[in-house]
Amino acid sequence: MACPHQVSIDVIRSKSLQEIITEKTNAANIENEDDPFYLVDISDVINKYKTLFFKVFFITHIFLTAMKSNPDFQIAATLCGLGTGLDVASAGEIETAVAVGLKDEDVIYSNTCKGISHLKVAAKENLTQMTFDSEVELHRIKRLYPSARLVLRLLVDDSHSELKLGVKAGASFSRVPHLLKVAKELGLNVIGTSFHVGSECGSPDAYAKAIEKSRRVFDIAKGLGMKFNLLDIGGGYPGQINELFTNISRIINKALDIHFPSDSGVRIISEPGQYFSCSSSILVANIISKRIRFEDDDTQIEGYPSDKENMEITYHINEGVIGAFISKLIINLLYIPKKLIKSNEKCYRSSMWGPTCTPVDQILSDYNLPEMEVGEWVYYEIFKCVTRSENVC
């Protein structure tokens, strides 16, 4: 797949992560800048792609990486250059898919509730593949983009996942015949079905059951005279290549062999998100404020801590839960900062806050951390997050 855009990638060899971050933050300090930034290890993304594509799944499966987890142009362009497509959820992500040179076949608009202006952008760019799970959405698509090719998002068991997506999207199995009939009456073209077992799914079996359920949806469609040719098995893979990942891929391959064998003519696609973003991304942020609080009175002081027992140091950094740390709010993820400068390693009870004025913007509470200073840079490795995008689906 040709990518018409230039991607800027620094090839860095023989340097430790700390050295790379120190170089970048020193440059920022010289410019008097303190904006947070991501470091993305593109070689990790490429290795993950190779593992997924060549070692784990059959070569015929196409991967569309979920942009909501990987919103960087560089990540998208690299993956698309390797041969993946994109799962997009908003007008902005559609524009990125177009900018990296993707064609209709390689993009799926996987948001079952699309805003009118966003849907219009899909129509303008002639990107036809999109999901739905309700009658309302069918009518909206009929009005604004009747030539779209639709994929019915099915509700499946996501009880074994860290982040359950079924609360927001997916039609229950009992609703399938009705929705397909409405689509048929409206003259819409439904081409297949999709599901998502939830992010960080701990159960390989959940995929097997969802694939079997999808087969039954295909059969219902056939009974209604519709010809399906696309199955989208979503994401949900762990961020690391580990035993769970191997088991998941084994079970998926087995279930596909049974229900959608390669001679069935069904195109299988998947939308891995965290799988690509988790181990490749490191977030670097700056400490913009520090206070010392005491529980037994309302004293707040700035400066160096005393050894008073009931003391807590509160730090403010310039990224928060209304942004990159949103998984703290959603699944209470523990984000522990790492220091670049190893100084006095004595630990104090601390809390970390994001830059907004809302009191929900707490990243970490009641945690023993070595003391840090205002202006110091901290980093977060294995940046596990549900999304790095504002265009959350």
Interface residues toward ligand PLP, by CB under 6 A:
66, 68-69, 87, 110, 165, 196, 199, 234-237, 271-275, 393
Give catalytic status of residue 347 as yes or no.
no
Residue 285 structure tokens: 């942020």
Smallest distance from the beta carbon of 122 to ligand PLP, in angstroms? 15
Smallest distance from the beta carbon of 232 to ligand PLP, in angstroms? 8
Smallest distance from the beta carbon of 25 to ligand PLP, in angstroms? 29
Smallest distance from the beta carbon of 89 to ligand PLP, in angstroms? 7
Quick one: 275 or 380, whose CB is closer to ligand PLP?
A: 275
Residue 254 structure tokens: 């087995």
User: Which helix (H) or strand (E) covers residue 10, if one does?
Assistant: none
Quick one: 237 or 379, whose CB is closer to ligand PLP?
A: 237
Helix residue ranges per DSSP H, 262-359 = 274-277, 326-331
Return d(Cα 39, Cα 377) in angstroms, integer: 13
Quick one: 86 or 292, whose CB is closer to ligand PLP?
A: 86
Return d(Cα 55, Cα 48) in angstroms, integer: 10
Q: Return the residue matching tokens 């998926």.
A: 252
Q: At what angle do helices 243-259 and 204-223 cross, to 10 degrees?
A: 20
Amino acid residing at 227: K
Q: Which residue is nearest to ligand PLP (CB)?
A: 235
Closest CA to 287 of 309, 326, 313, 311: 313
Smallest distance from the beta carbon of 230 to ligand PLP, in angstroms? 14
Quick one: 232 or 376, whose CB is closer to ligand PLP?
A: 232
User: Which helix (H) or strand (E) covers residue 23, if one does?
Assistant: helix 17-30
Quick one: 279 or 286, whose CB is closer to ligand PLP?
A: 279
Residue of 3, 201, 278, 357 marked active site: 357
Return d(Cα 79, Cα 198) in angstroms, integer: 22
Residue 389 structure tokens: 């995008």
Return d(Cα 101, Cα 5) in angstroms, integer: 8
Q: Report, as residue numbers or ranges, the catalytic residues.
A: 357
